[in-house]
Amino acid sequence: MDASRALCQRFVSAFIDYPKMLIGAINGPVFGIMFTTLGLYDCVIATEKTFFACPFSSLGQSPEGCSTHTFPNIFGPSLASELLYFNYRMPVEEAHRLGFVSRVVSSEKLQNHLEEWLYGEKGLVKTCYPNSMFNAKAIVRNEETRLMLHEINKVECDVLQQSWSSEECADALQKFYSRK
């Protein structure tokens, strides 16, 4: 379990420290750590097929991905609680309305939308200077913020490791694997 805990902490740390823009392109359901780490991205684009869920309490687990910090800041404390404690399944439209998703595009148009947005005549590659974007991100995700997120990540991973050895988690996993 120590190795799994360390792997989880390194995985989330890579998002915290990544100096380039992180853009999520989502075309379907997003669960657990793939949802929670999106709070560390710079931009999230999703399709109508997307919804978000953190089934931690139904699996006997605890939140990770710095979501105990990012979700209350993004969604407010009450909705963050529903997501992190009560297994709330958030539709993409709500995530968009709340600013978690920057735009929703049809699943058939996602690839073309991304290519145009990134590489088209008025796309990011042709209209934005990389150092300007990196400098802006360095201000938003400054050293103090990164250190705080690393500490949150450490605490979340410590608690997650404890939950992995709990009876609740063992019971939840047994139920999960024995379902038909």
Region 114-134 average pLDDT? 96
Residue 89 pLDDT more than 80? Answer: yes
pLDDT single digits (tens) 41-63: 999 999 999 999 999 999 999 99
- Residue 176: its pLDDT value, please? 84
Q: Largest Cα–Cα distance in the chain? A: 56
Residue 180 pLDDT more than 70? Answer: no
- Residue 92: its pLDDT value, please? 98
pLDDT single digits (tens) 95-112: 999 999 999 999 999 999
Tokens 């705080």 -> residue: 148
- Residue 179: its pLDDT value, please? 83
3-state helix, strand, coil in the chain (%, to 5): 65, 10, 25
pLDDT single digits (tens) 135-177: 999 999 999 999 999 999 999 999 999 999 999 999 998 988 8
Q: How far apart are CA 23 and CA 19, in angstroms?
A: 12
Q: Sketch the domain layout of the chain as residue ranges.
A: 2-111+129-169
How many CA atoms lie within 13 Å of 101's alpha carbon, on the beta-carbon side?
23
Rg (CA), the chain: 18
pLDDT single digits (tens) 16-46: 999 999 999 999 999 999 999 999 999 999 9
Roughly what angle, to the nearest 10 degrees, separates helices 2-17 and 143-164?
160
- Residue 84: its pLDDT value, please? 97
Please tell me whether the overall predicted TM-score, pTM, comes out greater than 0.85 for this model: yes
Q: Which two tokens stand for residue 12?
A: 């989330």
**2-111+129-169 architecture in CATH?**
Alpha-Beta Complex (3.90)
- Residue 154: its pLDDT value, please? 98
- Residue 1: its pLDDT value, please? 84
Residues contacting 61, CB < 8 A, separation 6+:
160, 163, 164, 169, 172
